[in-house]
Structure 1
Amino acid sequence: MQSAQPATDPAPTQAAPAQGQVQATGDQIAQVVETQFPTYDKDGDGQLSKAEFGQWMVALKSQTDPSAKPESAATKRWIGTAFAQADTDKSKKVSKAELTGFLSQGQG
């Protein structure tokens, strides 16, 4: 007999404050990227540098984890890993398409 709440799920309610973003579809993610991309693309080159990408990811992370600190070593490592995964063409920049793909496949 299996329990309804697996022991390996430490805090299933943490996803709830994200106001549906955790359950977002690919189309919804693409729309958010399209809408918010210019906010984080500070130099207006149509791509996100690692710093620009990092600001956005910290903003997203803080929605579900208010204790996330942008200057912490753990957050910097997490951003580095996320940027490497998102930058699929290894151009040292993340395009809208790369960001949409990254957010669609790896939430959390």
Structure 2
Amino acid sequence: MFFHQRGERKHGIMSDIPVDGSRCAGCAADCCRGFFSVALTPEEYALLQRLGARRLEFTLSGRFYLIIENGCEFLCEDRCGIYESRPTICRRFTCSDGDKPAAGR
């Protein structure tokens, strides 16, 4: 669970497959501000590096991350500036309002 800046409670849901993103249209990019980092594949890491990411992390354990604490660097006016190239974890994430999970998830 995470909280929107206005104190509204949201529930994050990680789908097994990418979701359609229809909830993103009316969202204030809560998930892009509500976590410390997102895990990346090596290919996603390389793509984000080519796209100019400055907050990438490669750990000694061989894991790749994009640090999004305090907001993802690719946010542009509450919208994903790399929506078509966003990482798989971003494609699989969705949220619901309040105490109810998103329908069909």
Structure-2-length-normalised TM-score: 0.28
Higher strand share: 2
Q: Which has the higher contact order (CA 8 A, sep 6+)?
A: 2
Higher helix share: 1
Q: Which one has the largest radius of gyration? A: 1
Structure-1-length-normalised TM-score: 0.28
